Structure 1
């Protein structure tokens, strides 16, 4: 009887020990950094360079909103000097940092703040009378805000590794220059367009639209898994027709079926606009995907340089 009672306790103890002791990787003297998903991996690698070893908690091509962490990944967070994440975007990561590594956690929203999430009319009605306070997490789609995150991360890394503070600062400054150039490309490319309405499968592009003076029309709100009602589909199709929309955008990690439905109703085509939550092409990076987005936007909106 006692043996049967002790067995599950021994299994649980073994699992915890494995999570705490078996996961750490040899970092070769570099600072171990954990990044919650791709854009945060990108900025961590650019600012840290060869002084850090970055582990991404979200596999390439996976939907980051739905990530579940293994014991090994939780152990990586515990052993990291910095865990770079975005509070409210990935509940599993929020919980793991809060419970296991609150001092290592670096919430990038503290550097830039977040805008209120765009809601469809239906979502607003559902939330009416309730305190929801939803925010839009897709802050990296504004290059200038990502540059600010890079600067702030450099200060964090310099505090942990003072001997290389000037290296982190210099890399963050170089990244800022590149992101400023990219911002200039977007401002020039989207300055003069036949249309400024951006019809997307869900409202992931609020920061981009705000920065470059576009109007985002989302088929659904901030949740990419939400299912639009027939009423919402009809509303967006009507808006697309009224604005002369030629392209309905869908995302790389989300089914294009809803966008295709709207496109048929509006007499438009579909195209990809990548929210950069994760890479699907191993040869791509933040800059190449953002420039592909710019090319898609200038074509869809009838822009002239």
Structure 2
């Protein structure tokens, strides 16, 4: 007895194989496309994907990159940058980016995440200008009264001061380095990056001149802050910053340091104790109350919030200038 087996259509077999092959090729192409996108550091819109560690780096990336970049700030508005812990999601974003802008030494968690990433272009702002060691006292007053204060607790040891962005001249040096990095990462738009960098450097030059003119003639050259963020600014414009705490905004001052500041304020005609927008004002107000001084805001520009006196770096720095002029008795 012959048993006839059903025949499979050759056409059907060919059709099924073709569909399977097409599907595999499509998935392969999609995978390759995604890999290429990640490799060249550009997003789906073709913009260079830039990760900035905190606001001063974001400002540079946006002003220099313009329409050619998409910028992500790792530090949320209102968050204290020193306290940032990089999340797994943020680490993934860093891996996908084409450029990472950060300031080594300011945010340890960011330093670690970027160093461990495979991102091609890592731009450390600290390497684009010179850093100095600053303690609680910075400027001419600190040198003049070094012997007088010898043996006293100055509220923290000296260390490399990362607050370079508060000096417009140093910030301009960083801007030039960032501009060159973007040119190299995205050569197709190099001309625009050069143009935008030049415009930003010119704006920072104008800001520098405003500070020079505005702080040239003042009744006092000494100002008190909650932590030592304004050392570069003080040195640039012939002032002296006396910080309640050292470079760490969370450190508590000693009783000896507070006593020294009270005596110094009276001797040097200090009128105002400055506090910040992102750090508690309790210590500043306590010192001001005990010494019968005023309080005001001097913004270290670590982030822009609704409380900021300005919408960007330049505007807030101009507000800082006005606050210093008022406190120092500018003529």
TM bucket, shorter chain: 0.7 to 0.9
2:53 aligned to which of 36, 50, 69: 36
2:153 aligned to which of 93, 99, 122: 122
State the match for 1:11 in structure 2.
none
- CA drift of 1:183 comes to 0.7
State the match for 2:85 in structure 1.
68
**CA deviations over 1:105-158 (Å, ceiling 9, x no partner):** 21011110211122465368x75xxxxx72111100011111111111111111
How many Å separate the matches in 2 of 1:100 and 1:214? Answer: 41
| TM-score of the two chains, using structure 2 as the length reference | 0.80
How many Å separate the matches in 1 of 2:291 and 2:64? Answer: 44
The alignment partner of 2:300 has SS state of: coil
Contact in 2 for aligned 1:138/1:205 (Cα 8 Å): yes
How many Å separate the matches in 2 of 1:142 and 1:202? Answer: 16
State the match for 2:201 in structure 1.
176
1:55 aligns with 2:54: no
**CA deviations over 1:15-49 (Å, ceiling 9, x no partner):** xxxxxx9x999451000000000010001100100
- CA drift of 1:161 comes to 1.5
State the match for 2:320 in structure 1.
293
State the match for 2:266 in structure 1.
241
Q: 1:203 to 1:27 in 2, by over 3 A?
A: farther
Once the two structures are overlaid, the 10-residue window that deviates more, 41-50 or 26-35, is: 26-35
- CA drift of 1:284 comes to 1.2
How many Å separate the matches in 2 of 1:25 and 1:153? Answer: 17
The two structures, once aligned, show a CA RMSD in angstroms of 2.0
**Residues 72-151 of structure 1 mapped to structure 2, 5 A cutoff:** 72-101=89-118, 103-119=120-136, 122=153, 134-151=159-176
State the match for 1:185 in structure 2.
210
Contact in 1 for aligned 2:218/2:329 (Cα 8 Å): yes
How many Å separate the matches in 2 of 1:300 and 1:74? Answer: 43
- CA drift of 1:102 comes to 6.0
The alignment partner of 1:220 has SS state of: coil
How many Å separate the matches in 2 of 1:102 and 1:42? Answer: 21
2:297 aligned to which of 272, 276, 284: 272
The alignment partner of 1:203 has SS state of: coil
Number of residue pairs matched by the alignment: 277
How many Å separate the matches in 2 of 1:136 and 1:111? Answer: 14
State the match for 2:184 in structure 1.
159
Runs of 5+ unmatched residues, structure 1: 1-20, 128-132
Runs of 5+ unmatched residues, structure 2: 1-34, 138-151
Contact in 1 for aligned 2:224/2:273 (Cα 8 Å): yes
